[in-house]
Structures are given as C-alpha cells and as structure tokens.
Amino acid sequence: MSSILVVDDSAVDRRLVGELLERKFQCAVNYAANGLEAMARMQALAPELVITDLTMPEMNGLELVTSVREHYPGVPVILMTAYGSEALSIEALEKGAASYVPKSRLADKLPDTVKEVLTLAQADRCHAKLIRCLDRAHFTFTLDNDPALVDPLVDLIQQMVSGMGLVDFTGRLQVGVAIKEAVLNAIFHGNLEITQEQVQEVEHELIQEGDLSLVERRAAQEPYCHRQVFIDADVAKTEARFVIRDGGNGFDLSTIPDLNKPGALDPVGRRGLSLIQTFMDEARYNERGNEVTLVKRASAGQHGSA
C-alpha cells in the first residue's frame, strides 16, 4: 500500500484530495498544513509521494520542493497549482518537482499524474551495478504506434541516465516524464493525427466490449498505419541527447507555449510541451515540427556522484 503525504493549508482542500486518492488507489493518506509541518513528519511517515499546494504560510510549496529534494531525494513531489502561479510553478519544477496538476482539474488529472509518477519512481535495481561501469550508450529504436512500448522505453532510458550518474533521483523522474511526453506526442498527435479535442472526447466515451478505441482504429487506417516513431539516444556521463521523430505532417511551432505567460501549464493546452521545455536543458524542433532534439546535462556536482 502506497503512503502519500498531502500538504495544503486549507483543511477542506486537504480532505478533498485525500478522499480522491483513497477512491482511486490502495493508499494511506496523511496530511500537513504547510511545508514545515510536512518536513517534520517526513521521517516518521516515510511517504512514497508528496502532493503539495504552492501558496502556504510558514513554508510554501517551492520551499518544500527544495527541502524534500535536499533531505529526501528519493521522494517525488507533485504540485497543485492555481491559475496565475505559473512563474512559481515553473521555478518549483526546475528545482525538482516531479509534475503538477492545476487545482481546477484535480478530479480528472490528479489520479493519472499520481499513477504516472509512482510508476516512473519504481527503480529497477537489477542492472544498476553494471550500468555504473558504463561510460557511454548509443541506441536507436523504430517503434510502431503501440503505447504499450513507451513505458519500457522510458524505464530503460531512466536506468541509463541515473545509473551512469548523469542525474539524481529527481532528474531521473524528470527525464522520464519528458521522454514519455515526447514519444506519446509523436504517436498520438504526430503519426495518428489525433487532436487534443479528440482525446478529450474519447476520455468521456464508454467503449463497449469488442469495440476498437480511436487509437486502434486510426492505427489500422491509411496513411497512419505505415508511420513509425524513430528514437535515437546518446547517453554519456556528462550529457544525454535524444532525437525523437514521427512520420506525420508536423505541427505549427508557434503553438509551443511560452513558459513566461499565464496559462502555460494548463493541461487543456500544451501541457506536455511545457513539461518537456521545463525538464530538459534544451528542446529544439525542426522546421517541419515532426522532430524534437532533447538535451539533458549533468548538473554541477552530479557527474561522478553515482
């Protein structure tokens, strides 16, 4: 059973989040009213995940993210953000938060985000000792439009960047989230040309037994069925570079969110692109918009610490 710590100065909001988590997961939920109280309870509770509001007295969410990363680097933190807090939210993501969910979308977005972060946080230790001896890895994948292949790919990349000492635990999570978003975008929006509006419509449809999902239908049709995703990864102890290309028509680069503007973290828009930009040191798209190059560099003092 997972242990989750919910931090919010509003007793009502704390309870709402806790009840939502208990309905969706087999978990034990504990609570704190601010960052100071949360840090005081961390050792005794040993949570697998912290979910925190940003604006709180005593110690706010940004300060809590920094403190958790310093003292409990193996515990991921998810932010609950309010509209207008984009600048603080992005700073918290840069300082080590694993993900975020707008408070206006908690009911439909928080469960999936919690599941994704907890899944990515499960480290596979069986090859850790061998990977620490690895100096450089270069591999290329050609993937069909099968979302089931994405998590194993992300897990492999996470083992490499973490085992080689390029990133710490939080960096491992961030690289995993960014790669997953980029590959899923390549499959759904690039190759299969499924729009964000269509994804939202499908989320509310009840698929009967024997029915094919929108992804399955589109993947079997021309011209989508022949498109693939190409991933080239070059991982060293000081830098990792990933090139992800789909076979679609690309997208309008002007729609890439400006992280300095309100609404950049809105999941209704380009949430995945915002996470990619925030979690990677570089994110460059080709002119066509069907290829992205992602770069993650070792932070100061990280190289050689593994």
What are 138-148's pLDDT values in tens digits?
999 999 998 88
Judging by DSSP bridges, how do beta strands 27-32 and 77-81 pair with one another? unpaired
Q: Where in the chain is the domain with CATH 3.30.565.10?
A: 128-297
Query: Which residues, other chains included, contact 200 with Cβ-Cβ below 8 Å and sequence gap of 6+?
Result: 268
pLDDT band at 122 (very low <50, low <70, confident <90, very high): low
Using a pLDDT cut of 70, give the percent of the chain over it: 86
Residue ranges matching CATH 3.40.50.2300 in the chain: 2-121
Burial of 271 (0-12, 13-18, 19+ CB in 10 A): buried
What is the pLDDT averaged over residues 115-124?
74
Range of weakest confidence among 4-13, 23-32, 100-109: 100-109
What is the rounded distance in angstroms from the CA atom of residue 77 to the CA atom of residue 99? 7
Alpha carbon distance 251, 239 (integer Å): 28
CATH topology of domain 128-297: Heat Shock Protein 90 (3.30.565)
Give the predicted TM-score (pTM) of the model.
0.70
Provide the pLDDT for residue 4: 95
- As a whole number, mean pLDDT of residues 187-207 equals 73
Per residue in 272-289, pLDDT tens?
788 899 899 999 999 999
pLDDT digits (tens, 9 = 90+) for 200-244: 665 555 444 555 578 888 889 999 999 999 999 999 999 999 999
* CB contact burial 211-231 (16+ within 10 A = b; e otherwise): eeebbeebbeeeebeebebeb
- In the prediction, which pLDDT does 127 show? 62
Fold classification of 2-121 (topology level): Rossmann fold (3.40.50)
Average the pLDDT over each of 10-14, 119-123, 246-250 and give the range with the smallest value.
119-123
**Sign (positive/negative) of CA torsion 296, 302, 304, 306?**
negative
